[in-house]
Structure 1
């Protein structure tokens, strides 16, 4: 493609850095398989915030991570043990909702918004999750962790729920539905969601939206696995490819597996992409949030490039996390 931004990389030795966060201080935090969160400091030092960790007798597989105002983290554990975990300088522990007998199934994403609400997405109730890699399985849902640590489902019947973003300024909650290959939205105000989701953007074949993020002007970005592409989407739902590494033969083979009901983990645990490696999320870095850093499923570092549209301040932008954990580089 023409006018593709120049790509550099941050971090090294990362393990499935699926979700990425950035703060005003210049620190980057990303999920790290088997442990929890890796911190990448502006000077290049890296700190693993937790060593090897198990929950429910299985290694933790952090998918989404959220930074809270007190500098601690929430982890959406997507291993078969499921649940939401808490991480701080004292270690990892189950969130109260994950400590109960009716613990959440594998959780995909967790997000603490500017009102202090904690959103959780579950892609599917099926185990293993690969049984939900289908065009006709729509049992994902969105829930809220309430102030009393109870859990309420606010949207269901979704097509493999992935990341979400509340946009209170414009009155929408945006939701990525990966195997629906679409972004939906539902009306939102401070009291909660209103009505049923509506289609915002239907992507074409091979475009499996995973991570989404607001821009600073009413639009969105979408990071897509399989095709290894990042799109900017304007408020009228018109997408523009920012950067991508689509391999036509690979995309066609994955689409064929989806049609044949044979899609499984092999279609996500490998990719012909060399630079973007199944990008799956994004965050804005820099004082004016004019650079994009991408989480990904298969790389050991994070791609970084200029943002065509700057990002807004995320709720955690000004949180200062003291240095803790084990320095690994």
Structure 2
């Protein structure tokens, strides 16, 4: 088992710059990649088990059935999971791959959270001792070139994580991924499809308030990196579906006027009551969007695996 770390340390200038730029912007933003410190990763694991949060309930059976169909193609492949988080989804996938095939494979989890990579790599090393595990702590939007490409690769981007990107960023990501993919490399892309808006909004406004705590935790991450004095209790969680952009938006709305000090810059940020900090988008897709994303990467769509209601899709694409 090998783990490589390409992420800057807490408080390094590149991290600070991203956070400060978001707080200086109008409207204010905080990059969603900063949700996933150790506590944020724990909270997201809890979210995936919530009754209201439908994607895992659909995606997990799809992963199992898709893996059974793809297993013959995986011999001698490297599996590269972008935004891997915990090992739950890839475990479902690998459980359906015969042991003799797994013995020819290597798994590369790629995630910004070092603790999540270490935990999942250790768990998978125990569960699948026959398979090589090579963890990479990195931002896949910036460090794609760090992923080895000596063998045929199956890139996995589960959970509709691509939906967290703006449309422009998603297209840029697909273009960059297409450039680093070799001929006959494949991508399995998870996509949350457009459906009844009430169902979508409930998924991001759970009764237990776990999504709200997850959203507010980004302020703790900001404090740890900038030395700021954000109090998460000064904000309320807001999540709604934006019809124009076909996406859920998550925000933090200030309950009162606030003056936040950024000690590393000797600078203050003023936030008015009811002003919102935009923390995340989660785009929902149509069949036309699938073709558009594939075209941006120069990939061909081979299969679309979906449930009977077509709420969620796993799309297999290939580089020709």
TM-score norm. by structure 1 comes to 0.28
Q: State which structure, 1 or 2, has the greater radius of gyration over its C-alpha atoms.
A: 2
Greater fraction strand: 1
Greater fraction helix: 2
Q: Which has the higher contact order (CA 8 A, sep 6+)?
A: 2
TM-score norm. by structure 2 comes to 0.28
